[in-house]
Structure 1
Amino acid sequence: MTCALNTSEPLPAPTLTAREIQILREWVMRDSKSDVATALFITAATVSTHVNRIRLKYAAIGRPANTKAALLARALQDGHIELDEL
């Protein structure tokens, strides 16, 4: 079975707020939500809330991101982070 990737059409991207992009970037580059919380001067619960909303937005457009690795892939695909930043 072969799988062809259609590169002529861009992937749909959810509308993330600037804060959600900031949280997404920090989350994929840090070890834990508490590390993100400390860096951004918010609580780990707030980080979790943002991450859950980001996941819901990706799921709503048919690009689920149920794991941290999947969120990293989405951040790379959508240009929110560059590979050399990791």
Structure 2
Amino acid sequence: MVVRRIGVVEDHASVVLGIEVMLADSPGLAVVTSATTVPELLAGRPDLDLVLLDLRLADGSSPFTNVEALRAAGLEVLVFTGAENPYMVRLAAKAGVLGIVRKSAPVDAVVEAIEAAAAGLPVVTTEWAAAIDGDPDLSEVGLSPRQQEVLALYASGEKADRVARLTGLSRETINDYVARIRAKYAAAGRPAATKVDLYMRAVEDGLLPMPERPA
């Protein structure tokens, strides 16, 4: 069995213990490390599949900076927070997290979100949707109609060969388009280094529909 390794950045020990209890019946998930700050976590050079990050930490750090640092270290992030500040939620969403889950959510919903994020999948919640819908500052990236078409197909899960067949372009051209799309998003301050990032950017810009949460 593949066990997904989880790290937690949280300055309340009781919350870390609560996460461990919630995951006790999920043999495929294990909390292997925790820290009160992102630099402390990264100092241990952790080999993790996912980091659970609180938005409001005692060190006063910015959610955007924290997510950027974790992503730069090759770590995916799921926000697990009780913070109600919409601005902080938007900062985290714009930095490229896999999703945002409230500490007040039902245990089953939290575990489901962690399982999905640990597998590298985006976690669709009302908080994430609200962060996108309520953000007036998402910078335009200026994609051409053709680039928008390629992004919508590629970010929806299609492989480059399939996108090439659907658009009548060569695979090399599709790869070039994707590289240019990533560069445009990076220049706009909305990085899209992974396919999940591209999916989120496509949703943010209305090129793909906001997926519905499972019932």
Q: Same fold (TM over 0.5)?
A: yes
- 1:14 alignment partner, one of 132, 135, 141: 141
TM-score by length of 1: 0.86
More contact order relative to length (CA 8 Å, sep ≥ 6):
1
Q: For 1:7-61, what per-residue CA distance to the aligned partner results, in whole angstroms no more than 9, with x for missing partners?
A: 4533112000000000001111243100100111111100000000000000001
Q: Does 1:46 find its partner at 2:177?
A: no
> Which structure 1 residue ranges, 4+ long, deviate > 2 Å from structure 2?
5-10
Q: 1:66 Cα deviation (Å)? A: 0.5
Give the count of matched residue pairs. Answer: 84
The alignment partner of 2:89 has SS state of coil
Work out the CA distance in 2 between the residues paired with 1:45 and 1:83. Answer: 29
RMSD: 1.6
Structure 1 regions of 5+ residues with no counterpart? none
Q: Kindly tell me: are residues 5 and 38 of structure 1, through their superposed partners in 2, closer, same or farther at Cα, counting changes over 3 Å?
A: same
Work out the CA distance in 2 between the residues paired with 1:8 and 1:22. Answer: 24
Work out the CA distance in 2 between the residues paired with 1:49 and 1:8. Answer: 30
Work out the CA distance in 2 between the residues paired with 1:46 and 1:32. Answer: 13
In the alignment, which residue of structure 2 is the partner of 1:80? 207
Larger % of strand: which? 2
Q: Indicate the percent of aligned positions where both proteins have the same amino acid.
A: 31
Work out the CA distance in 1 between the residues paired with 2:201 and 2:194. Answer: 11
- 1:65 alignment partner, one of 182, 189, 192: 192
TM-score by length of 2: 0.37
In the alignment, which residue of structure 2 is the partner of 1:55? 182
Work out the CA distance in 2 between the residues paired with 1:81 and 1:8. Answer: 17
The alignment partner of 2:137 has SS state of coil
Work out the CA distance in 2 between the residues paired with 1:8 and 1:37. Answer: 33
Structure 2 regions of 5+ residues with no counterpart? 1-54, 57-62, 64-87, 91-133
Q: Kindly tell me: are residues 8 and 44 of structure 1, through their superposed partners in 2, closer, same or farther at Cα, counting changes over 3 Å?
A: closer
Q: Which has the larger radius of gyration?
A: 2
